[in-house]
């Protein structure tokens, strides 16, 4: 039976490796997770795109999920990416994650094959037959080669009690509203991008890659939306887009992944570099170092902006008392 309720900004985490990338570094993982807790992050999602799930062995998968769940101690919720292009593997990963104590699963449709709606439905049906914990659909046409329509999402929501969440990353922010309408408000939409606009259209949370290096600021951005401080949240989002453009310039769609790890390290939490075939930060040379300095300057702006917002809110509460 589903008992978990997911809300707010959940960091979709990097997977920390040792310096040569040959193994998962549990010490680095635990320090990184403690940082998320200290920043007030309500939950993490491991083995998503940012977590390089395609480069992780089955043994490493079990190790990472076990370590993340054990370290939580109830301090944060744990969702696990259990997708695979082969349905039996996705079923096995999902069952294993549930058995290891995961609170929920995030699952993209079978990638590469460009599956039909019926094939996608059968894939999720097989997984739902095997687990009882909540499932977050993951709609990302760039990586899955399929855009799940609001009608298909409504069909899945109606058929399976576990399917009550979706990460909506189709780049069509209006889809948030379409899904809420098509499901009669039953589906809980998490923003995959543009969190401010998504919130205004009905999203209840944010699958947040920026939490890997700005966990407090981006968690506060979502909380500000819930508190009705839309302009303050929009200001933080604009600053995030400012450094996002620096990262994206000159890189292919996922060629920027290495920056997530380099930036976490620059914030005091080393997590190693990415695995092949992704571009390693170390290989970027002067270009990477120059961009890193530019981005960290924007981080200073973001930290100052959030501190100013927090100070103004504290003064307001003091005067109200």
**Is 253 a residue whose pLDDT tops 90?**
no
The residue written with tokens 């080393």 in the block is 270
Per-residue exposure over 267-291, b if at least 16 CB sit within 10 Å of its own CB, e if not: eebbbbbbbeebbbbeebeeebeeb
167 is catalytic: yes
Q: What is the pLDDT of residues 113-156, one digit of tens each?
A: 999 999 999 999 999 999 999 999 999 999 999 999 999 999 99
List the structure tokens of 36: 């998320």
What DSSP string runs through 176-211?
A: HHHHHHHTTT-SEEEESS-HHHHHHTT--EEEEGGG
pLDDT of residue 3: 61
Q: Domain 8-229 adopts which CATH fold? A: TIM Barrel (3.20.20)
What the block records as the tokens of 168 is 């909506």
Q: Quick check: 240 and 269 in contact, CB under 8 A? A: no
4 included as an active-site residue = no
Distance from C-alpha of 235 to C-alpha of 255, rounded to nearest angstrom: 27
pLDDT (mean) for 56-74: 98
Q: Which of 138, 165, 213, 259 is labelled catalytic?
A: 138
Instruction: Give me the catalytic one of 123, 124, 165, 167.
Output: 167
Structural domain boundaries in the chain: 8-229
Task: Answer yes or no: are the C-beta atoms of 138 and 166 closer than 8 Å.
Answer: yes
Lowest mean pLDDT among 25-29, 54-58, 247-251, 305-309: 247-251
Distances (CA, A) of 175 to 12, 149, 151, 153, 157: 21, 8, 11, 11, 15
In this prediction the pTM is: 0.96
């Amino acid at each position: 039976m589903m008992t978990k309720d997911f809300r707010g900004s959940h960091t979709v985490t990097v997977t920390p490796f040792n310096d040569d990338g040959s193994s998962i570094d549990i010490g680095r993982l635990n320090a990184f997770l403690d940082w998320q807790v200290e920043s007030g992050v309500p939950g993490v999602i491991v083995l998503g795109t940012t977590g390089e799930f395609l480069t992780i062995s089955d043994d490493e998968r079990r190790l990472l999920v076990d370590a993340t769940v054990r370290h939580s101690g109830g301090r944060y919720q744990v969702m696990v990416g259990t997708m695979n292009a082969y349905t039996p593997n996705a079923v096995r990963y999902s069952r294993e994650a549930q058995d290891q104590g995961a609170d929920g699963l995030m699952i993209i449709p079978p990638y590469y094959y460009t599956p039909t709606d019926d094939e996608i439905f059968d894939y999720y049906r097989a997984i739902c037959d095997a687990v009882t914990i909540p499932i977050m659909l993951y709609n990302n046409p760039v990586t899955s080669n399929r855009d799940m329509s609001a009608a298909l999402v409504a069909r899945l929501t109606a058929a399976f009690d576990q399917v009550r969440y979706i990460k909506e990353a189709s780049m069509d922010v209006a889809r948030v509203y379409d899904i809420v309408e098509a499901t009669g408000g039953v589906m809980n939409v998490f923003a995959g991008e543009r969190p401010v606009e998504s919130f205004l259209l009905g999203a209840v949370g944010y699958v947040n890659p920026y939490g890997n290096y700005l966990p407090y600021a981006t968690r506060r951005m979502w909380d500000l939306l819930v508190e009705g401080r839309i302009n303050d949240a929009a200001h933080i989002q604009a600053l995030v887009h400012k450094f996002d453009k620096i990262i994206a310039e000159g890189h292919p769609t996922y060629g920027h992944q290495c920056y997530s790890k380099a930036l976490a390290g620059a914030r005091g939490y080393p997590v190693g570099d990415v695995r092949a075939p992704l571009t390693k930060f170390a290989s970027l040379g002067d270009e990477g170092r120059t961009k890193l300095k530019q981005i960290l300057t924007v981080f200073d702006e973001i930290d100052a902006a959030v501190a100013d917002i927090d100070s103004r809110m504290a003064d307001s509460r003091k005067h109200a008392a």
